Amino acid sequence: MSRITLITFSEQKELNNLLKNINIEMCKVPYGIDDKNRFKIDNLPFHFTIFATDKKNERELLQMLQNVSISSFILKINRLEIMPGRNNSFILYFGIEESKELKELQRYFYEYFGEEKYNPETFLFHMTLHIDYNYELIQELYKTISVSFQPFIIEVNDLALFDYPGEMIQRFELKKE
């Protein structure tokens, strides 16, 4: 099944500074998609997923995005954590303070498409940094990032729809307040 994913699209400067001492290539693509080529197909920027659905819904999703009237908003990244991933893997990720704007945006698509995985009442908004089978490596990355991690703010000015994994379909600029 071919998927499309709607993500936040924001400035990466603060993130890049925080990750500049990482000496390994990190990968955000989960195991089970194309394990041999995970690193090659990992083309999405660091992001928060808002919604994903079958590619057959692309036209409807694009039409809905034309009607989104949300202004740019702030997300506070406030923690670094590890959680279990698919196929016995581990995910290193950034979490955020609850965001009313992000939840409302997700609810808009969830109520139309009804994909339970993206229910805003139960969805864990997170920014995947690296997925790996090697828990020791994940712990090492966690320790390295933790040394200089302090909560920080990112401003979400745009959304982007991507083939997943694949190329960007379209970028949407949010209103400026």
Say which CATH number the domain at 18 has.
3.90.1140.10
Residue type, 14: E
How many Å apart are CA 125 and CA 7, to the nearest integer?
11
Query: CA 142 to CA 13: how far, in whole Å?
Result: 20
d(CA 173, CA 158): 4
> Confidence band (pLDDT; 50, 70, 90) for 151?
very high
- Cα atoms in the Cβ-side hemisphere of radius 13 Å centred on 90: 13
**Is the C-alpha dihedral spanning 87, 90, 92, 93 positive or negative?**
positive
Domain extent at residue 163: 3-173
In the chain, the number of structural domains is 1
pLDDT in tens, 78-136: 999 999 999 999 999 999 999 999 999 999 999 999 899 999 999 999 999 999 999 99
d(CA 111, CA 90) in angstroms, rounded, equals: 30
* Lowest model confidence (mean pLDDT) among 14-18, 52-56, 117-121, 171-175: 14-18
Token reading at 62: 């694009």
Q: How confident is the model at residue 17 (pLDDT cuts 50, 70, 90)?
A: confident
pLDDT value at position 69? 87
Q: Are strands 3-10 and 49-54 parallel, antiparallel or unpaired?
A: antiparallel
pTM: 0.92
pLDDT tens digits, one per residue of 158-173: 999 999 877 899 999 9
